[in-house]
Amino acid sequence: MSPVMKHRLIGCLLALGIYGVDQWSKNYVTKVLGIDEIGKAMEIVPFFDLRFTRNFGVSLGMFEATSPEMRWGLVLVTGLIALVVTVWMLREKLFGDILGLSLILGGALGNIKDRFDLGYVVDFADLHFGDFRPFLIFNVADAAITIGVVIILARAVFMREKEVDDLMTTKAPDAAENTQ
């Protein structure tokens, strides 16, 4: 198996792993711990609670689905996005990019399943410092998507600069030879 195929396989397995951990954690919080209604919470440490909420929207609660048609529209749109991410990941050659895409894909699949089954996404992780909340209440899928996007963006910014620097370094000697 070529290294690129091995990286793609690892990416697929990581996406499935993220999906599994996300679904397990949501089940554990809602079924085992019984935190399954708005208002129910459990303090883990002074700055982190498990607090049930329903997210009817997408990122940051935007584009909230207020009707069954909008719900299924979100399932369709996020499913298409997941398909694009899958194709992108399977065409990618660099492991760092495959890693970021696999995190996005695994998280997307977890949230799509919730929206398909329940009509909303289960969020439960509440990081706060007193009344200050740097994030909305989130879940494992949201965290994976966020980390994956940061990886892709960081690689796009820093790898592009490196590629331009490498290009300038390799072209500079040629240009100097042509002037002599």
Q: pLDDT by residue (tens digit) across 74-99?
A: 999 999 999 999 999 999 999 999 99
Q: Averaged over 154-165, what is the pLDDT?
A: 73
| DSSP for residue 63 | S
Q: Is 22 a catalytic residue?
A: no
Strand-strand pairing, 121-127 and 48-55 = antiparallel
Q: What is the pLDDT of residue 138?
A: 94
Q: What is the pLDDT of residue 143?
A: 95
Give the whole-angstrom CA distance, residue 119 versus residue 171.
Answer: 55
| DSSP for residue 32 | I
pTM of the model: 0.84
Structure tokens at 140: 């494992």
Q: Averaged over 148-177, what is the pLDDT?
A: 71
Catalytic residue, chosen from 22, 114, 123, 126, is 123
The pLDDT > 90 percentage for the chain reads 71
Structure tokens at 20: 């599994």
Q: What is the pLDDT of residue 104?
A: 97
With the C-alpha atoms ordered 25, 27, 33, 37, is the resulting torsion angle positive or negative?
Answer: positive
Catalytic residue, chosen from 142, 165, 166, 174, is 142
